[in-house]
Each structure stands twice: as structure tokens, then as C-alpha cells.
A = this chain, B = another copy of it.
Amino acid sequence: MAGRAAVPEVIWARPERTGRGPKPAYSRRDIVDAAVRIADADGIDALSMRRVAAELGCGTMSLYNYVPRKEDLYELMVDAVSGEYELPEEPSGDWRADMTGIAYQTRAIMYRHPWLARVMTTAYGYSPNALRFLEWCLGCLVPLDAPPGLKMQLIAMVNGTVMATVANEQAMAERARGLPWSEEEEQAVRGAYLMGQVASGRYPHLAGLLAEAPAAPADPEEIFALIIARLLDSFDPGAKGQPLSGEPFTEA
């Protein structure tokens, strides 16, 4: 009659254990760590319940004592890496500096865990570490005189922008193997398509752009810094009108 719960609950509300029965051989954290390890090493597509069980040396179905569904595992993974933020005791008082730091930390985390972008779009909820993160951001934004809704929007935009930027970088890197300015010419087949299209004359502006800047794009580091700065500017009442210098993009 007891049976397994029909899992209408949020994973965070489900207690890890209840005290009766044999001692669990693992903890929820063990499973999640193993999953993160696998996803880091071999990509998110290589992550399966069987693989996690193998990594831990237990039967596949044992995992379901700790994690009700694979989807919940994703959520736990996102929460786990969200715990990697190093948040000082107190905000610095300079909300721009604090949020910039957050953006850089987010980017670092996404570099460490390239699967995050893919997973976060589906599995980002009010996990404990997400609440911790949100709380800290709101603390940083106390000096900013703005209504709460706007602050939430700012936080979401910083997160989303970092995610979009990194996802774009990663997609670029993935695609770079087919670009004509790639390392080797061996699979010029892929690049040939693009160049053929551009050479067709149907895309004059794009052709001009490629002619002007045929090399790889500028230092992503500078681009990232500029983007975040611009974003924060747009929320900053005291931001000075930037002169819009595009130099960093071409000279580097």
C-alpha cells in the first residue's frame, strides 16, 4: 500500500531519507557528483542512469531510491554547480562591480560544465542554491534605486546574457571545424558550402564583412567584458554616455 510516491512533488521538498531500513550505501550528493563528472567528461548525451550506476558500482535501479526521475537528476546537477559560486559575506556596496563579478563567475562555471547551457533551459527552478544566488544578487542591488521587478529583470538579463554568450561561443567552437579559416583544410567540404554561398553574390553585405575581417573574431574576453558593461549601463542611472568605440573588435 505504501509503494512509491507518484512524484507530484518538487525534488527539493522530498527528504533524502526517513530513518528506517538498511543504511543507504550512497547519498543523493554521490549520485549527483557522479552525474556531473560524467557530463563534464563525456558530454551530457553520454549521461544515462546506467552509466551513473556503473560509475558508482551499483545497480541501475538503486539510483531511483535517491532520485525519482532523470529529469530531477538534471535539476540536482544544476543546483550542485550553482553551489560553486563564491559569494562573500557582504556585498561590496558597488552593485556594478558585484554584478560584473557574478557574470564572470557564471561564465567560469559554464566553462567548467559545458552541458549547463543545454540543461538550464529546462531545469532551472527555485533550487536551494538558486535561492542563495538570488538572495545574494538582491543584496548586491540594494544600492540600486529601482523597483523590485526591475532588479529581478536585471538579474535575469545578466544570467541570460552570459548564457547566450557562452552558448554562442561553444556553438561557434563546435562549428569552427567547418569554417574555411579553420586549423586544417582537410574538411574544406563544409566551409566550401559557406564560401560558395557568399561567392554567389546573393549576400553582398555578408561578403563585404568577410572580406574586411576574414580572420577569427576578436578576443572573446574583451567582447564579454564589453557586453556585460553595456548591459549594466542600460540599468545604471549614472552611466555616462559611452562613445561607442568598436576598436576592441577589429584591432585584436
Q: Which A residues contact B (CB, under 8 angstroms)? A: 8-10, 12-13, 117-118, 121-122, 124-126, 128, 131, 134-135, 138-139, 142, 146-153, 156-157, 160-161, 163-165, 167-168, 171, 175, 178, 187, 189-190, 192-194, 197, 202-206, 208-209, 212-213, 217-218, 223, 227, 230-231, 233-237, 239, 241-244, 246-247, 249-250
Could you tell me the distance in whole angstroms from the C-beta of A203 to the nearest C-beta in chain B? Answer: 4
Whether the pair B235, A153 counts as a contact (CB closer than 8 A) is no
| A160 and B156 in contact, given A10-B190, A206-B135 (Cβ under 8 angstroms) | no
What is the count of identical protomers in the complex?
A: 2
Q: CA of A12 to CA of B194 in the docked complex: distance in angstroms? A: 9
Establish whether residues A190 and B13, one from each chain, have CB atoms under 8 Å apart when the complex forms: yes
Taking a contact as CB atoms under 8 Å apart, the answer to whether B217 and A149 are in contact is yes
The CA-CA distance from A163 to B213 in the complex, in Å, is: 27
Give min CB distance, A198 to chain B, whole Å.
8
CB–CB A212/B148 < 8 A: yes
Question: Complex: how many Å from CA A208 to CA B244?
Answer: 38
Given contacts A126-B194, A212-B148, contact A134 B168 (CB under 8 A): no
CB distance from A204 to the nearest CB of B (A): 8
Residues of B with C-beta under 8 A to A151? 209
CA distance A187 to B10 in the complex (A): 11
With a cutoff of 8 Å between Cβ atoms, the chain B residues found around residue A234 in the complex are 230-231, 233-234, 242
